[in-house]
């Protein structure tokens, strides 16, 4: 009988610890952090390639350079 009470107590304690741990984790994950960033971008290179699979189908590759006003860093963005 003592073993059953001990196991029950251990299970209750583990359950409470898990509930508390997951409750704290979800509240931390829901905190919102505001990010402020200001960048100015200029398109420095644009390439348009014609694809022959369908009429009028093209792919555009673009490179942009900019400056991060807050840190003064030069940034490069390449996209297609």
Would you write out the chain's pLDDT as a tens digit for each of its 80 residues?
A: 566 678 888 888 898 888 877 776 665 556 666 667 788 888 889 899 888 888 889 998 999 999 888 888 888 888 87
Q: Residue 37's pLDDT is what? A: 74
Which residues, other chains included, contact 63 with Cβ-Cβ below 8 Å and sequence gap of 6+?
Answer: 43, 44, 45, 46, 76, 77, 78
Burial class of residue 39 in the structure, from the number of CB atoms within 10 Å of its CB (0-12 exposed, 13-18 middle, 19+ buried): middle
Q: Residue 77's pLDDT is what? A: 84
Q: Residue 72's pLDDT is what? A: 83
Domain boundaries of the chain, sorted by first residue: 1-33, 39-79
Q: Residue 9's pLDDT is what? A: 87
């Amino acid at each position: 009988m003592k073993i059953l009470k001990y196991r029950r107590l251990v299970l209750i304690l583990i359950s409470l610890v898990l509930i508390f741990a997951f409750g704290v984790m979800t509240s931390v994950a829901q905190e919102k952090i505001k990010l402020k960033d200001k960048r100015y971008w200029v398109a420095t290179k644009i390439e348009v390639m014609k694809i022959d699979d369908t009429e009028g189908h093209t792919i555009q590759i673009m490179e942009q350079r900019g400056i991060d006003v807050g840190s003064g860093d030069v940034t490069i963005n390449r996209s297609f």
